[in-house]
């Protein structure tokens, strides 16, 4: 099982674009596996738009892969999204890791945009079918309940064939969706034990569709902080998490030191998860740089030791 650790970004905590690009370039140089941008369209706090970020990272880096964790497909047109993904993958030489989900039904994105959450799962299924066909077929005609296209096509196509498609969510519908369309799966806020059960169910669903998913294409994401729960950035992120998800903050964050973070990773590895997105919690350039350096030194450099234990 090949364990990979990428870094993610939720709220934009840098003082400027220059600070952010220094962080991106440091991750690229340090051998970080991948970079991920959380998707949120409506927020009083600064959030970068995930598809735009992917295009920017494509031009600013040379090695690191990148993806969105996860983009809400229920709010996006599948033809436009497929075109964006194909373009970014082409320009980056095949480094895009597209990841899609329904998005939280607690998100303001739905109400603010006047988009109903009704039948959003069926809309997403239609969108995934359209997109996966557009990435490989010369022309796509599709007549569904939510989308209709006549002889649609995109060029240039993605460099990666097939283009990876990571699916988020752990409901029965999301499990079926992952088995039908996905090449990988990202846990939301599932515990290691819960994630392990989902992995087993997705493998069964994939087999039912005559497919299989690589055993090391199952992932999890959580926030991390070298420090303690009483620090202001942690308290703020934890409160937002609990309000937005209705779950305890301990499910979404690991706060402490490198050993605590490695222990959580190991717990997931023991249940069949091998890809990780760690979101450093920091306020301002200096904190984000410090948190990232500690992750590189105290966590990412020690991942091979975890691999030997599995």
Q: How far is CA 234 from CA 71, 282, 287, in A?
A: 24, 8, 12
CATH number of the domain located at residue range(s) 4-309 in this protein: 3.20.20.30
Structure tokens at 54: 């992917």
pLDDT tens column, 22-41? 999 999 999 999 999 999 88
CA distance 181 to 245: 26
Q: Are strands 140-143 and 4-9 parallel, antiparallel or unpaired?
A: unpaired
The region, left, alpha or beta by phi > 0 then psi within -120 to 50, assigned to residue 224 is: beta
pLDDT tens column, 143-162? 999 999 999 999 999 999 99
Res 249 pLDDT > 90: yes
Res 310 pLDDT > 50: no
pLDDT tens column, 40-56? 889 888 999 999 999 99
Res 109 pLDDT > 90: no
Work out the number of other CB atoms within 10 angstroms of the CB of residue 186: 30
Phi, psi (rounded to 5 degrees) for 262: -65, -35
Q: Are 164 and 184 in contact (CB under 8 A)?
A: yes
CA distance 10 to 211: 33
């Amino acid at each position: 099982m090949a364990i990979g650790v990428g870094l993610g970004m939720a709220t934009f905590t840098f003082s400027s674009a220059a600070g952010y690009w220094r962080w991106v370039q440091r991750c690229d140089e340090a051998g970080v596996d991948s970079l991920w941008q959380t998707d949120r369209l409506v927020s009083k706090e600064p959030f970068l738009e995930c598809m735009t970020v992917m295009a920017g990272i494509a031009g600013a880096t040379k090695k690191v892969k990148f993806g969105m964790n996860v983009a809400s497909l229920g709010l996006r047109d599948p033809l436009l999204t497929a075109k964006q993904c194909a373009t970014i993958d082409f320009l980056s030489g095949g480094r895009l890791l597209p990841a899609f989900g329904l998005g939280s039904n607690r998100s303001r994105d739905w109400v603010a945009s006047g988009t109903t959450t009704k039948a959003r799962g069926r809309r997403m299924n239609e969108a995934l079918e359209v997109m996966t066909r557009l990435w490989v077929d010369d022309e796509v005609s599709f007549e569904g309940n939510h989308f209709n296209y006549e002889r649609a096509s995109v060029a240039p196509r993605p460099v990666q064939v097939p283009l990876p498609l990571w699916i988020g969510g752990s409901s029965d519908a999301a499990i079926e969706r992952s088995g039908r369309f996905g090449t990988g799966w990202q846990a939301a806020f599932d515990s290691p034990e819960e994630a392990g059960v989902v992995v087993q169910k997705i493998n069964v669903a994939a087999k039912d569709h005559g497919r299989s998913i690589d055993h090391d294409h199952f992932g999890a994401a959580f926030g991390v902080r070298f420090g303690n729960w009483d620090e202001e950035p942690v308290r703020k992120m934890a409160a937002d998490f609990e309000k937005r998800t209705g779950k305890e903050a301990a499910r979404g964050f690991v706060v402490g030191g490198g050993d605590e973070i490695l222990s959580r990773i190991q717990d997931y590895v023991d249940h069949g998860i091998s890809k990780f997105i760690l979101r450093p919690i920091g306020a301002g350039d200096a904190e984000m740089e410090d948190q990232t350096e500690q992750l590189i030194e105290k966590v990412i450099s020690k991942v091979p030791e975890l691999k030997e234990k599995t």
